[in-house]
Structure 1
Amino acid sequence: MDKPAVTALLKNAGIDAELTFEILDRYNAGEFDNQPAVEMDEIPGIDGTSVIDMQDARWEMDKNAAVSRLKALGVTKPLKLLAQTEGNRAVFTRRGLTALGYLLYPKTAYGVLNGGSATSYVDEKKNSSFNEKLMELYREPFEEIAGMARGRAKGITPACIHPDGSPGPSYMELKMRGLLIRELIYREISGDNSSQGPIMFQMTSVNNDEEVAAAYREYRNSPFLKDLIEKLGTDMTRCRSGAQPMIGAYTHSDLGRPRQVFLGRDGKSPLPLPGGHGQNFAVLQDIYRELHAEGRLFAYLGNVDNLANLPYPAGVGLMALSGREAGFEFSFKTPVDIKGGILIRDTRGRLNCGDIGPAISKEQVARAENAGKPILFNCATGLFNLDYLTRELSGIIRNLPTRFSDQDKDAGRYSQAEQVTWEVIGMLEDFFIFGVDKYERFIAAKLLLESFLANGLHLEHPQFPGDPDPAKDLQTVGRKLNRGLEKLFLEEYGLRQEGKQWIPKSFEELQEEARLLGRNLGVME
């Protein structure tokens, strides 16, 4: 079939024909042949320089340089409130870094990868494979929530379950609330009421962009957002957005070169697929440049399903003082962290993120864990220095590896092309790995069962599946996740439990909590 005919089929299927053929032509020209595979040499530990345990985070620099840096950042608080001075040195402990991060809130943008649907999230087979006994225990709530979420954009599906078992607010409702509370904290501790409000941006997909936008319009009247929007004068639901296009699948590698566009079993049914979250650098490039031009210094990027992912003040503080290119959060691995990447030193001697399976086998991970070696699991959260990112965007877009993986599914045997966001780590020279507590910074749910577990559902039920090894026991992990989630609800999302429901705290309660935080950080009288 000739190219014009294939182009017509692609467009009819909602696929970006130009991008599909661009990737295909680059592949057939051999451009992707020499992309280095991510292979592990060793599992690195905390070194205090590039890999930081954020519980003990600190930054030391020349005192005069610190004063100059704060001035350049637009921070008016005196150095003595943020750092300990020893001779000509200034030492920022975690408390000072946290305070600085809050003060830099208006210069920090927050981005969400929000293009995924809830298909895998509520897939019964995938959830059962996580733990069959747990699936049976959760059968009734699973059917209810899955029925509400199936086929919808994941970010607008329920992110939590109230203690009475009813569905709570969505992922994006909570994130918007969390960002508005950060704006309130900034205003209280800085005394600056002229802030233009938090800047939020996202990558949706062409398949869900309108659905997401419609949900946000309804959120303006959400009980979790309305009061904050009115009192702060900031409408968080007006989010900057870029929609990721769909690309076509390609022929299976068994058919050799040159590859062609995959047209299904009938020869006329192309398969629309996302090209991986790594496409954000291309899809959102105009937004990144706009943010930089407006004076934003940093941009967060993270997956929608991590409820613990809000701007991390201590990380922002470290980035601001160091001037490094980026920072990435990795949490100390637990038994529920089975699909994703871990921190490795690759065969080129560089820190990198290697997926369990392709880069490092499950057996290697198990041996390291059994030997007591801490393993840092990718939280899929990046904090980028916008000076660096906007300068290097074109090169990142061009050189971020495009990986082809063969698939054998109902649609047939084909190959899928994807870019993985976090492979950008292997392209950087000067960055941080933030070693964080999972139960503070990485409460994510790739599967609905994980969400139920974090919400503490049926944790004390006599039929809850256990394990004699505490390190592998889901009940133990569930209790820790639930304590972490409740702490997030109380502190980061400004909720309180009334009866068996999580309800929003009043604006006045949040205002008083913000003032108390400022006093505890030593930046308010």
Structure 2
Amino acid sequence: MKSDKTPQDATTIPPALRQRLLESGLDADRSIQILNNLNQGRYDAIEPIRPQGIPRIDGQQVIDRTVPTTLAIPDERYQTRLRELAPEIPLERFGRLEGSDRLLSQEDLEDIGVLLYPYLSYGVLNGGSATSYGDRKKNESLDPGLLDLYQEEFSRLAPELAGKPKGITPAWVNPDGSRGASFLELKFRMVLLAGLRYTRRAARFRVTPPENLTPGLPFFEMTSQATEAPLREAYQAFLESPLLKDFPGTKKALETEHAQQPLLAAFTHSSQGRPRAIFAEAFGKPGEPLGLPGGHGQNFSVLAPIYRKLFARGKRFVYIGNVDNLGFTLDPVSLAITALRQAPGAFDFSFRTPVDVKGGVLVFDQQGKLNCADIGAAISREDVLAAEEQGDRILFNCATGLLDLEYLTNHLDRIIRDLPMRISDQDKDAGRYSQAEQVTWEVIAMLEKPLVFGIDKYRRFLAAKMLLETLLTSGLHLEKARELQPTVDQLSQGLERLLREEYGMNLEKGRWVPQSPQEVL
């Protein structure tokens, strides 16, 4: 469908509309740039992912991390790589020689990974508010029966969460019904504990810590206009958090490297033809634009200055993932493998469980590269089940990436330019419009031989998109919950394991309370 409308660009967009974009906190320049690219057909060649096969566990590029992991690596490569990264690490203390190869056990890999913590920074995609997280209708659509079961807890918690950054909402509910600590308190505690584990491991191996590098820090994050101020306020309060106040490095940890993800303008619906324009009829109000997040894939452009700064400081790896995934913790074995293999990046995927019917799965795409394809949009549920019946193990995306900073900074401009921009039509309360989004994990296909770690979902992927999921994972009303959701035992046991082992918490009189740092170690 053609139109005689004049394409909008920086010179033709009405001044009043541009002013409204700015007043609404939208990135007008970036929105217009995307709009112009759309009208010039630059996104027309972006193909949908067409799965051509299911990758198998091969121990090389796709590695099963649910079993003890070993690594055989040419000794010369092992020594060269560690000297490049961390010359203070005693090379001969780890593994054994077999011919020209060095064989490293899981214990060796864990030791090496912990000793690499000073070269790693941990970060979260922290832009979302909890508005939809606690929305009653959205939670009810997830499971009406569960909403009935957790009616009391939901009604008490949901009003307190609305509009808050999700990261500062409770990550669990205690057995006695009281609120647990927030997702971000746990994240900071985990990184600080990792620093203490590094100190102990360095002393054990008589390693002199590198100067000016703190294990796992600086903590970095992508925020938004809506979450930036509440997060700064929360971090100030975290100085007195029972989970954090006993660590000597708390103040430093809370001084994060952060950048705001701007909102993008919605565009006119495809049914209106080209050239597209800025959608300016939000909720039926003439001249009113609609601001939308541009997807977590924007982190590569938003956080680009931070990635470059970290590399210049001496950091060599970044861990990045979603703030609501309690299983997203530092994994020293994965770090050691990624570092020694000199992989550009490594990504966690969990083995499919019966309830995993939505989300992205690992596939070979039409280019023969590893990629992440959404069930429904790119691969049918029937094809997934058929592949399983043939013996393939389906791997679900956990939205966790471990990236080599040298590779990332060298290729940032290309990634920012070429990460697919997905334009999708929407029909919602605000009107009929189209939205531009980039998905972080489509970067997998842009890397040269990335690694994929097949992990235990209940250890490394306890995520909560809806408040009901948090209540279920907390193990409340367990007997009745089992009748509605058969995985509740694995979820609640996974939470208990994480709180004890990764976050140093103990269950006392119906509440999870933090151990002192000395007790944890």
**TM over 0.5, yes or no?**
yes
- Partner Cα distance (1:243, 1:233) in 2: 23
- Partner Cα distance (2:195, 2:251) in 1: 9
Task: Please give the residue correspondences for 1:458-497 in structure 2 after superposition, counting only pairs within 5 Å.
Answer: 458-461=477-480, 464-466=482-484, 474-475=485-486, 477-497=487-507
Secondary structure in 1 matching 2:478: coil
Structure 2 residue aligned with 1:405: 424
Aligned counterpart in structure 1 of residue 446 of structure 2, from 410, 427, 430 = 427
Structure 2 residue aligned with 1:256: 273
Aligned counterpart in structure 1 of residue 118 of structure 2, from 102, 106, 109 = 106
Secondary structure in 1 matching 2:132: coil
Structure 2 residue aligned with 1:502: 512
Task: Please give the residue correspondences for 1:235-246 in structure 2 after superposition, counting only pairs within 5 Å.
Answer: 235-246=252-263
Structure 1 residue 14 corresponds to structure 2 residue 31: no
- Partner Cα distance (1:338, 1:119) in 2: 24
Residue 120 (structure 1) shift: 2.2
- Partner Cα distance (1:135, 1:75) in 2: 55
Structure 1 residue aligned with 2:57: 46
The 10-residue stretch of structure 1 (415-424 or 57-66) with the greater mean CA deviation from structure 2 = 57-66
- Partner Cα distance (1:286, 1:190) in 2: 31
What is the TM-score with the length of structure 1 in the denominator?
A: 0.92
Structure 2 residue aligned with 1:436: 455
Is the 8 Å Cα contact of residues 453 and 482 (structure 1) preserved in structure 2? yes
Structure 2 residue aligned with 1:359: 378
Residue 60 (structure 1) shift: 1.4
Secondary structure in 2 matching 1:236: helix
The 10-residue stretch of structure 1 (67-76 or 406-415) with the greater mean CA deviation from structure 2 = 67-76
Is the 8 Å Cα contact of residues 352 and 425 (structure 1) preserved in structure 2? yes
Structure 1 residue aligned with 2:288: 269
- Partner Cα distance (1:233, 1:402) in 2: 38
Distance 1:498 1:399, change over 3 A: same
Is the 8 Å Cα contact of residues 70 and 105 (structure 2) preserved in structure 1? yes
Residue 87 (structure 1) shift: 3.0
Task: Please give the residue correspondences for 1:286-297 in structure 2 after superposition, counting only pairs within 5 Å.
Answer: 286-297=305-316
Residue 361 (structure 1) shift: 1.6
Secondary structure in 1 matching 2:373: strand
Is the 8 Å Cα contact of residues 122 and 320 (structure 2) preserved in structure 1? yes
Distance 1:18 1:77, change over 3 A: closer
The 10-residue stretch of structure 1 (104-113 or 333-342) with the greater mean CA deviation from structure 2 = 333-342
Structure 2 residue aligned with 1:196: 214
Is the 8 Å Cα contact of residues 269 and 425 (structure 2) preserved in structure 1? yes
- Partner Cα distance (1:411, 1:425) in 2: 33
Task: Please give the residue correspondences for 1:308-387 in structure 2 after superposition, counting only pairs within 5 Å.
Answer: 308-387=327-406
Q: Report sequence identity in percent.
A: 46
Distance 1:331 1:464, change over 3 A: closer
- Partner Cα distance (2:13, 2:133) in 1: 38
For residues 227-277 of structure 1, give each alpha carbon's deviation from its aligned partner in whole angstroms, at most 9, with x where no partner exists. Answer: 01x3x4753111110000011100001111111000112321111111110
Residue 56 (structure 1) shift: 3.9
Gaps of 5+ in 2: 1-11
Aligned counterpart in structure 2 of residue 186 of structure 1, from 186, 195, 198 = 198
Is the 8 Å Cα contact of residues 110 and 336 (structure 2) preserved in structure 1? yes
Is the 8 Å Cα contact of residues 347 and 451 (structure 2) preserved in structure 1? yes
Structure 2 residue aligned with 1:523: none
Partner AA of 2:511 in structure 1:
Q
Structure 2 residue aligned with 1:4: 15
Residue 132 (structure 1) shift: 1.5
Partner AA of 2:124 in structure 1:
V
Secondary structure in 2 matching 1:460: helix
- Partner Cα distance (1:368, 1:302) in 2: 28
Structure 1 residue aligned with 2:7: none
- Partner Cα distance (1:386, 1:377) in 2: 25
Is the 8 Å Cα contact of residues 220 and 235 (structure 1) preserved in structure 2? no
- Partner Cα distance (1:212, 1:270) in 2: 26
Structure 1 residue 154 corresponds to structure 2 residue 173: no
**Between Structure 1 and Structure 2, how many residues are aligned?**
500
Residue 464 (structure 1) shift: 4.5
Distance 1:48 1:15, change over 3 A: same
Q: CA RMSD in A?
A: 1.7
Aligned counterpart in structure 2 of residue 300 of structure 1, from 319, 323, 326 = 319
For residues 76-119 of structure 1, give each alpha carbon's deviation from its aligned partner in whole angstroms, at most 9, with x where no partner exists. Answer: 34334321222332012222112111110010011100001112
Is the 8 Å Cα contact of residues 96 and 102 (structure 2) preserved in structure 1? yes
Structure 2 residue aligned with 1:171: 183
Structure 1 residue 35 corresponds to structure 2 residue 64: no
Residue 390 (structure 1) shift: 0.2
- Partner Cα distance (1:237, 1:257) in 2: 47
Is the 8 Å Cα contact of residues 155 and 305 (structure 1) preserved in structure 2? yes
Gaps of 5+ in 1: 467-473, 514-525
- Partner Cα distance (1:96, 1:3) in 2: 63
Distance 1:88 1:371, change over 3 A: closer
For residues 352-402 of structure 1, give each alpha carbon's deviation from its aligned partner in whole angstroms, at most 9, with x where no partner exists. Answer: 001112111222223334555321000000111011100010111111111
